[in-house]
Amino acid sequence: MLVGKKIEIWRANLDIDCEIESQYWSVLNLAEKERANRFVKQQDQTRFIAGRGILRYLLSKYLDLTPQAIQFDYLPQGKPVLDSDHGFPNLQFNVSHCHYLALYAFTDSAEGIGIDVELLRSLPEAISLAQRFFTKNEASYLASVPSQQQEAMFFQFWTAKEAYLKATGEGLAGLQTIEIAVSERNTNQFEIVKGNPRMQIYCFMPEENSIAAVASLGNNNDLNRGKKIDQGTDTSNKWTVADCCLNAETLEKKLVFRNWDE
Q: Which helix (H) or strand (E) holds 241?
A: none
| DSSP assignment of 186-203 | -TTEEEEEES-TTEEEEE
237: in domain: yes
pLDDT value for 114: 93
**Predicted local confidence at residue 221, as pLDDT:** 39
Whether 2 is in a domain gets the answer no
Q: Are 214 and 202 in contact (CB under 8 A)?
A: yes
145 in a structural domain:
yes
Residue 94 and residue 105 in contact, taking contact as beta carbons nearer than 8 Å: yes
- Closest Cα to residue 259, out of 53, 54, 5, 44? 54
Beta strands 255-259; 210-217: pairing state: unpaired
* Residue 1 domain flag: no
On whether the CB atoms of residues 72 and 80 are closer than 8 A, the answer is yes
pTM for the full predicted model: 0.85
Please state, as a whole number, how many other Cβ atoms lie within 10 Å of the Cβ of residue 236.
Answer: 11
Fill in the amino acid letter for 216: S
Domain that holds residue 247: 7-259
What is the pLDDT of the chain when averaged over all its residues? 82
pLDDT at 245 over 80: no
Contact 191, 181 (CB under 8 A): yes
Question: Total structural domains in the chain?
Answer: 1
What's the CATH code of the domain at 13?
A: 3.90.470.20
**CA nearest to 95, candidates 83, 85, 105, 87:** 105
In a domain, 119, yes or no: yes
Between CA 1 and CA 83 the distance in angstroms is: 25
pLDDT digits (tens, 9 = 90+) for 90-140: 788 999 999 999 999 998 865 789 999 999 999 999 999 999 999 999 999
42 within some domain: yes
- pLDDT of 148 higher than 80: yes
Three-class SS of residue 28? coil
Give the rounded percent of residues in the chain with a pLDDT score beyond 70: 81
